[in-house]
Chains A and B, each alone.
Chain A
């Protein structure tokens, strides 16, 4: 009897272990498939398809429910061949999606297509959300605000304690004096005391001197800072982060401000430049599957409907960015002159790293600015100082200096030098 139960027990045990192992093996296989499928999906499919949004092609979540696996195994490697052969399901699908032909992928064999389908079925693996990471962004400014408040509170409490201690010691002194039977003068009220103080000519003199120094230095500083906008950080219509775009994503300044190397104006990008990426990048992961509200502002301004991917011209309205760097009308500054002609000299003068764009010389570390602000004072003194100190000797491939040197050589040799050689025929010499 006992033997039978032992045998049964061991059978049960082995059965349990076997089934557990099988389940585990199967699940790892499918996880492996989905992982491989994700890699393949991102390499082959995602330029036209997303899981839960329509891009060039339809959203793919639930594609295994809409079509049989048999159909998909044929369709994905050779969709155009199927349409040409007149397969009714294939032709219907082609017509439903605006007759946009899908790329054929002969390199995707049955195994690979199956793993892609496994990935589509399982969906994007949910990244474990680390609350400390989520909070890190907003927390930083909060901490500094909090620490300032803390310091103020400590100072206030300190003053309070000093006042209380002072009062207490005064009270004790009085008590001691009273015990000794010494007559105490009553306290003069504060108002009378102050009035008495101001009867003292020396004190009034000192007070006025302090006043003159304080007001004078304040006025002096105020005048120096008049019209200087250093640190100016206006509220922009879209919470665009240069830290994210230029810092984390490492997009070159010129990608958006493409006028900087060509013209006077660095240019604010028009919204079609935003759409080069944000047609596809919608930051849905951070907003529970919804499009980011800031990216939606781009869509709204363009009259763009992310569902149909159509633009409605009648709904267009300009995006009113607030200009941060304002030069007065009487000052001329040309971006291209500085970043193309003078790039090397400026890099050397400001000690920029080779990885940093030359723009940082004046605009500061833009790749760390979550919200853009004016870094340099842009005053005349600031311009002049840089023009006084920057070393431009040894500028070999610089056409402007080559011209100057040519003129210089001619003068040395005693040859004829005309105003034309020195730019005397430039339109601006006479017409301005």
Chain B
């Protein structure tokens, strides 16, 4: 009697073991690339502060005004630290002409500014305008984009030649965009924009 119960227990044990192995094999075999996998103490991973670019819990009543979104525009009549206003030159032909006349590059022309301007130009402008500003960027060469004027020889769609564009006009164009070129104001800060302008003016001279 005693022996048989022991045998029974042993059988049960063996069956469980079998099940465990089968389970282990199934779980480890299918690693799902869509899931983050096993996690321990998840609450140590999640920040209390809002995660940039990520949804906000809509159940949180204190954050109801966020409407589920962490990225917010600043409240009315406030401005971020270091924000440069550019209201006096609106996105119109008049604003463009006015910027061309009255804006000058506040940065001194030196090798440091030019080197940074070159880096920024290669990142943000050269895909279309080309590294030499000849309008033959990679995207133009593979025919994704076209109609990009050359700085040295092209004509501006707002009159005159590209080579004669003043610093203020170039700054205005980077800020608001023109024709098929979009506004790059959100990607390049005002100071960096002036560095790009400085470098573009070097390219105009073919240097």
Contacts and interface: CB of A to CB of B under 8 A. Distances in A.
Interface of A: 42-48, 55-56, 101, 103, 105, 107, 195, 198-199, 204, 207-208, 211, 214-215, 218, 221-222, 225-229, 231-235, 248-252, 254-255, 258, 265, 267-268, 270, 272-273, 275-277, 279-281, 318, 320-321, 323, 326, 328-330, 373
Interface in B160-207: 177, 179-184, 186-188
Interface residues of B, number: 61
Given A56-B179, A198-B14, A44 B123 contact: no
A265 B20 contact: no
A320 B184 CA distance: 22
A317 to B, nearest CB: 9
A222 B11 contact: no
Interface in B101-132: 122-124, 127
B187 A258 contact: yes
Nearest to A270: B186
A279 B182 contact: yes
17 contacts: A43-B146, A46-B146, A103-B157, A103-B159, A195-B11, A207-B17, A214-B21, A215-B24, A226-B37, A227-B37, A232-B35, A277-B144, A318-B55, A318-B71, A329-B44, A329-B46, A330-B44
A399 to B, nearest CB: 13
Chief secondary structure at chain B's binding surface: loop
Contacts of A373: 33
Contacts of B180: 46-48, 55-56, 279-280
Contacts of B98: none
Nearest to A103: B157
B184 A47 contact: no
Contact of B31 (A47, A204, A231): A231
Contacts of A323: 51, 53-54
Contact of A215 (B20, B182, B188): B20
Contacts of A281: 144-145
B155 A265 contact: no
A272 B39 CA distance: 35
B53 A228 contact: no
A202 to B, nearest CB: 14
Contact of A252 (B123, B148, B181): B123
B27 to A, nearest CB: 8
B38 interface: yes
Nearest to A278: B182
A329 B45 CA distance: 5
